[in-house]
Amino acid sequence: MSVLKITGGRSLEGSLRVQGAKNSALPLLAASVLTEGLSVFRNCPRLTDVAATVDILRHVGCRVYGEGDALYVDASGPISPEVPDELMGRMRSSVIFLGALLSRCGEVSLSLPGGCELGPRPVDLHLLALRALGAEVTEAGGRLCCRCARLRGGRIDLPSPSVGATENAMLAAVRARGNTVITGAAREPEIRDLQEYLRSCGALVTGAGSSVIRIRGVEKLGGGEKRIMPDRIAAATYLAACASAGGRVRLYDACPGDMVPVLQALRGMGCELRTGENLIMLERRGPLRSPGPVITRPHPGFPTDAQPPLMAAVLKAQGTTVMIETIFESRYRHVPALRSMGADIRTAGKTAVIRGVERLRGGEVHASDLRGGAALAVAALAAEGETVISGTEYMDRGYEDMAGALTALGAEACSE
Question: Taking CB under 6 A as the criterion, which residues in 276-295 touch ligand EPZ?
Answer: none
Spatial separation of the C-alpha atoms in residues 134 and 148, rounded to whole Å: 7
Going by C-alpha positions, the residue among 48, 99, 105, 52 that lies closest to residue 75 is 105
* Site stretch for ligand EPZ (CB under 6 A), options 139-147, 159-167, 258-266, 269-277: 159-167
Between 115 and 223, name the residue whose CB sits nearer to ligand EPZ. 115
149: which DSSP letter?
S
Annotation marks residue 148 as catalytic: no
259 binds ligand EPZ, rule: CB under 6 A:
no
Give yes or no for residue 164 binding ligand EPZ (CB under 6 A). Answer: yes
| DSSP-derived pairing of the beta strands 38-42 and 225-227 | parallel
CB of 216 to ligand EPZ, least distance (A): 25
Q: Which is nearer to ligand EPZ, 6 or 194 (CB)?
A: 194
In the chain, the N- to C-terminal Cα span, in Å, equals: 9
Query: By C-beta, is 262 or 281 nearer to ligand EPZ?
Result: 262
Residue selected from 44, 71, 92, 103 as contacting ligand EPZ according to rule CB under 6 A: 92
Q: What kind and span of H or E run contains 48?
A: helix 48-60
Candidate ranges 2-10, 18-26, 148-156, 348-356; the one touching ligand EPZ (CB under 6 A): 18-26
Using the rule CB under 6 A, is 269 a contact of ligand EPZ? no
Nearer to ligand EPZ, 238 or 328 (CB): 328
Q: Examine residue 112 and tell whether it contacts ligand EPZ (CB under 6 A).
A: no
Smallest Cα–Cα separation from 160: which of 190, 183, 188, 184?
A: 184
Q: Which of residues 120-139 bind ligand EPZ (CB under 6 A)?
A: 120-126
d(CA 350, CA 337): 18
Q: Helices marked H in 153-298 — which ranges? A: 163-173, 189-200, 232-245, 260-268
**Residue 232 binding ligand EPZ, by CB under 6 A:** no
Indicate which residue of 44, 62, 105, 116 is catalytic. 116
328 binds ligand EPZ (CB under 6 A): yes
Closest CA to 94 of 77, 76, 110, 72: 110
For the chain, how big is the Rg over CA atoms in Å? Answer: 21
In the complex, the smallest distance separating the C-beta of residue 356 from ligand EPZ, rounded to whole angstroms, is: 26
Among 229, 241, 370, 376, binds ligand EPZ (CB under 6 A): 370
- Element (DSSP H or E) covering residue 51: helix 48-60
Stretch that binds ligand EPZ, among 21-29, 246-254, 255-263, 314-322 (CB under 6 A): 21-29
The Cα 77–Cα 123 span in angstroms is 29
Among 4, 12, 116, 360, which residue interacts with ligand EPZ (rule: CB under 6 A)?
A: 116
CB-CB contact of 27 with 261 (8 Å): no
For residues 129 and 172, the answer to whether their CB atoms sit within 8 Å is yes
User: What minimum distance in Å lies between the beta carbon of 34 and ligand EPZ?
Assistant: 18
Q: Does 223 bind ligand EPZ (CB under 6 A)?
A: no
Give the residue ranges of DSSP H helices in 97-152.
97-105, 124-132
* 23 lines the binding site for ligand EPZ (CB under 6 A): yes
Coil, helix or strand at residue 255: coil
* Total binding residues toward ligand EPZ, as defined by CB under 6 A: 26
CB 145 within 8 A of CB 108: yes
Indicate which residues carry an active-site annotation. Answer: 116
Contact residues: ligand EPZ, CB under 6 A: 22-23, 26, 92-93, 116, 120-126, 160, 162-165, 186, 304-305, 327-328, 370-371, 398
